[in-house]
Amino acid sequence: MKWSGKNRLKMGYAGETLDVDRFFSDLSCWVDSQSVWQLNWLNQEDPRSRIPVVTAGNWRESGIYISAGIHGDEPAGSLACLDFLQNFQVPSGFSAICLPLLNPSGMRLGTRENDRGHDMNREFLAEISDEIRALKAHISDEAQFRLAVFLHEDWESQGFYLYELFRNESALRYGEQLLNYLQSIHGEAIPIDRSPVIDGRDAENGLISGRIADHLERPDWPEAFFINSRFCEVTYTLESPSDLDLTPRIHLLSLALRYLIDQVQEN
Ligand SMILES: [Zn+2]
């Protein structure tokens, strides 16, 4: 593990960037090479902002929801989705929707916001950007997800952490287990952020856990609020520390995603 210190100097993400055209071409080539996952595109009217959607099975009925790259300065999440898609052994009856790059225009610029300057992860009520309108319309009201995972990165953090959001106390939750698992498997490459307060919220050993009902008055809904309140009992927002090298961040996010999927598949 080696902190570069570059993010702090820049006061923002200063690491490796993602080549969006190459990413799309790698994704398309891989989809063409197999028969389980299909690739479609949302928001096609704007070539800078078209969004790839990769699905398996009847994803609106108890599928798994995965998204990444809503912030264009967080490349590891998108690459972790590709790694996951390429390496996950799909069990029979499995269904999922994976949105590996929700903000392609921002990813091209290396900015958190899209190329119109909007942080799309604050617009799930207001629907300012076409990308978010297209995504919300695509999910449709009847969908139900068994699990939803949002892959993010934090340029300031001193380790991995996650937000666990749930509707009811009784829901099965895996956040704490996941952090223990990652520590045991991957702890030398990327540590857990054990700060008592992360991003202004109380945290315990990398876990920020809370009831969705306590947050819904906030007007600037992130994707997690929208998906959790309407479609999924428990959701996870994973945050890798982006001052570390890209490769272990990709590996960590992909490993965490697979772990959560394994847990819900077993229960
Ligand atoms: Zn983010």
- Give the residue with greater pLDDT, 188 vs 37: 37
DSSP code per residue over 83-102:
HHHHH--PPTT--EEEES-S
Burial of residue 140, with CB atoms counted within 10 A of its CB: 0-12 exposed, 13-18 middle, 19 or more buried? exposed
Residues bordering ligand 1, an ion, CB closer than 5 Å: 71, 74, 152
The pLDDT, as a whole number, for residue 234 is 97
Cα distance between residue 115 and residue 109, in whole Å: 7
List, for residues 208-262, the tens digit of each pLDDT value.
Answer: 999 999 989 999 999 999 999 999 999 999 999 999 999 999 999 999 999 999 9
From the CA of 155, how far away is ligand 1's center (Å)? Answer: 9
pLDDT bracket for residue 187 (50, 70, 90): confident
Task: Give domain limits for the chain.
Answer: 6-266
How many whole angstroms from 34 Cα to the centroid of ligand 1?
30
How many Å lie between the centroid of ligand 1 and the Cα of residue 259?
A: 21
Q: What is the structure's pLDDT at 69?
A: 98
Residue 79 binned pLDDT confidence (cut-offs 50, 70, 90): very high
Return the higher-pLDDT residue of 1 and 134: 134
Query: Cα(252) to centroid of ligand 1, in Å?
Result: 16
Q: Give tens-digit pLDDT for 101-112.
A: 999 999 999 999
Ligand 1 mean position, distance from CA 70 (Å): 7
Confidence at residue 60, expressed as pLDDT on a 0 to 100 scale: 95
How close is the Cα of 14 to the center of ligand 1, in Å?
A: 15
Q: How far is the CA of 71 from the centre of ligand 1 (A)?
A: 5
The verdict on domain 6-266 having CATH code 2.10.77.10 is no
Query: Can you give the pLDDT at residue 65?
Result: 98
pLDDT of residue 6: 95
Percent of the residues in the chain that have a pLDDT greater than 70, as a whole number: 100
Distance between Cα 198 and ligand 1 center (Å): 14
| Cα 202 to averaged position of ligand 1 atoms, centre (Å) | 18
Average pLDDT over the chain reads 96
- At 29 the pLDDT is 98
What number is the average pLDDT over the span 83-89? 96
The answer to whether residue 186 scores a pLDDT higher than 90 is no
Q: Give one word for 7, left, alpha or beta, with left for phi > 0 and alpha for psi -120 to 50.
A: alpha
pLDDT for 116: 97
Distance 96 CA to ligand 1 centre (A): 21
